[in-house]
Amino acid sequence: QRGTDKDRWAQEDSLATQWDQRAAMAAEFIPAGVRVLDVGAGAMALGSFLKPGSTYQPADVVERRPGCFVVDLNRREWPPGEYDWVSFLGVLEYIHDIDWPLARARETAPRLLVTYCTDIGADPQLRRGLGWVNDLPAEAFAARLAANGWRVDETREVKRGPSNIQLMYVCSRAG
């Protein structure tokens, strides 16, 4: 099983503040007073945008602060606990087998917030240069969500670039 580039993610400059707006957008969907597991928490911006009474649990491939669960999804490591929401913001592009964490998230929480930078047919080397290891168009990503027991309740565009469109999916456990 292939691991994750921990050296890359241990660098402070990997925590770009440009993604704070994405975290704020995600937090809009999460009600007050819930338990949130943020997988691939990075700078942990999502935690600062949650409504009052919420419990925030970060998890990442490197320890960002005490209490952050250290897990590598590429090595099939998953944090303990049960939650109301799981979030993957800017994570799954770096994961070789995205079905595994999507299935684990479904076992962990009834709600999911996930972003994915869809492949719009640009040069695959652009994606590899960003460290991305998979190339799914929006329809294929939505199909992966459904195959892993998620119903997409809402989709919102986060960012449009020359090589991809980042979409946010708000999901509920299906059936």
pLDDT tens digits, one per residue of 15-37: 555 679 999 999 999 999 999 99
Cβ–Cβ < 8 Å for 29, 49: no
* pLDDT for 31: 97
Query: pTM above 0.85?
Result: yes
Q: Helix (H, G, I), strand (E, B), or coil: what is residue 162?
A: coil
Q: How far apart are CA 37 and CA 87, in angstroms?
A: 6
Q: Which residues contact 65 (CB under 8 A, 6 or more apart)?
A: 44, 58
Q: How far apart are CA 143 and CA 75, in angstroms?
A: 23
User: For residue range 141-163, what is the model confidence (pLDDT) as tens digits?
Assistant: 999 999 999 999 999 999 998 88
User: For residue range 59-111, what is the model confidence (pLDDT) as tens digits?
Assistant: 999 988 899 999 999 999 999 999 999 999 999 999 999 999 999 999 999 99
Question: Among 49-58, 86-95, 114-123, 146-155, where is mean pLDDT lowest?
Answer: 114-123
Q: Helix (H, G, I), strand (E, B), or coil: what is residue 46?
A: helix
